[in-house]
Each structure stands twice: as structure tokens, then as C-alpha cells.
Amino acid sequence: MARSLVGFDIGTDNVKVAFRDRGLRFLSRRLPENVMNEEGIVSPQVMAEFLKKLRVEEGIRDRDCAIVLTEQRSYFRHVSLPPMTTSELKINLPYEFRDFITEDPDAYAYDYAVDDMVCDEDGRLARMELYASAVRRSVMDTYADILKHAGFRLRVVTPSSMAYMHLMHAHNVEHPEDAGRDIVVVDIGYNQMNISLFEDDRFMGSRVVDSG
């Protein structure tokens, strides 16, 4: 049986939680004041106590969890690379973010997911189409520590656009009549909106704009 994960989406003002309890449940709770701002978590201890209280009050039994990071807390993009090994990818991925990350690239963790492997006319691998992500290591460490103190174990960290892709793919498998559509996802926050574009269930790009 596949393991069950508790899903967290922690915004500036609200936390959204998805978990299984005789079915799939979704919760949205207002965060305490001054625990988050646009830069991130201001008070890790208050956040941990808040999530622990939420776990107990809602009877969340699962401990393994996943957290979705917004555009403001992670980088996510589609890249095309020549064929290379996993070890070579580990070396080259940071260079794909050099236009976005101006500080020490070693301060970030990098990962990728395969979109497509493109072969030439002779059937030899010509290029790799990948989704690449970068997250500051200190951000992951902070979330892992908070969730640990709240009684959870952080197992998965994913950018929001990748999470949307998984949801769309699962929907298209269950409802094939909806496959092939172009989709715009608008995440409306208090101060900003994240607008993401998808072709079918493939991420094409995103933009953050100020609300109002």
C-alpha cells in the first residue's frame, strides 16, 4: 500500500492542509499574527506550536508529510539539456539557475523530473527535456525543524507548479475527456497573485503580479 502523506501549503496568512481520514479532507486555517511575512517564517516556534495544535485538534494520524513551496520560496523551470549522466546533471543543474540565483549556488538544493527524452532519426538520445527546481537549503531545514516539533516528518518538498502538474495529470487519467486543454491557474494571495500556464498537464511558465 502506498504511504499516505499529509500535504501542507503554508502561505503568508493561511495554512492549507490535505490529509486522509476515512476519505480525503481539506482544511484551511488562519495563521497567528506576525508568524509569517513576505520573506518567510518570522517565528518558527509559534508556527510549530500552531501546527501541533492543529494536528491534535483535527486528529491527523499520519506523520509523514509533504510541503508545497510558492514561487516566492522556490525556483522552477523547464530546461533542455544534452544527454548526460545523473552525476553530470548534479554538476550542471545549478548553471540553469544562474540568471535567477545571484548568491552562493551551494546554498541551494537542486532536483529535477524528466519531461521527455528526445531521440534523433537514428533512435539515439539527442536531448533531455526536464523540469528543474532549486530551493534554499535553509528554507528546507527550517520547515523540517518546524514540522518535526509539530509531530510530523518532512518527506517531500515540491514547488507549487509541480504540485499542480501532478493534480492535473491525475485528473486527466480519471477524466480523459478533459485532456489536451490549455489551463491557467491563478493563486490569489493577500498581496500577490501567482499565475501559471499549462498545456494539458505540462507547465509552460508563470508570473507573480501584485494584487489590486
pLDDT in tens, 127-183: 999 999 999 999 999 999 999 999 999 999 998 888 888 888 888 888 888 888 888
Assigned C-alpha cell, 188: 490569489
Give every CB contact of residue 94 below 8 A, 6+ residues apart in sequence. 101, 105, 108, 110, 134
Task: State the residue for C-alpha cell 528526445.
Answer: 118
Q: pLDDT value at position 125?
A: 92
Higher pLDDT, 101 or 202: 101
Please give the pLDDT value at position 1.
Answer: 43
What pLDDT, on a 0 to 100 scale, did the predictor assign at position 146?
Answer: 96
| 24-28, 70-74, 140-144, range with the lowest pLDDT | 70-74
Show the cell assigned to 175.
477524466
Report the predicted TM-score, pTM, of the whole model to 2 decimal places: 0.82
What are 90-118's pLDDT values in tens digits? 999 999 999 989 889 999 999 999 988 99
Out of 4-8, 167-171, 188-192, pick the least confident. 188-192
In one letter, which amino acid is 34? N
Amino acid at 57: E
For residue 204, give the nearest of 28, 77, 58 by alpha carbon: 77
* Residue 72 or 63, more confident: 63
Contact assessment for residue 127 and residue 82, using Cβ atoms and an 8 Å cutoff: yes
Residues 120-129 have a mean pLDDT of: 92
Going from the C-alpha of 35 to that of each of 4, 69, 145, the distances in angstroms are: 28, 17, 15
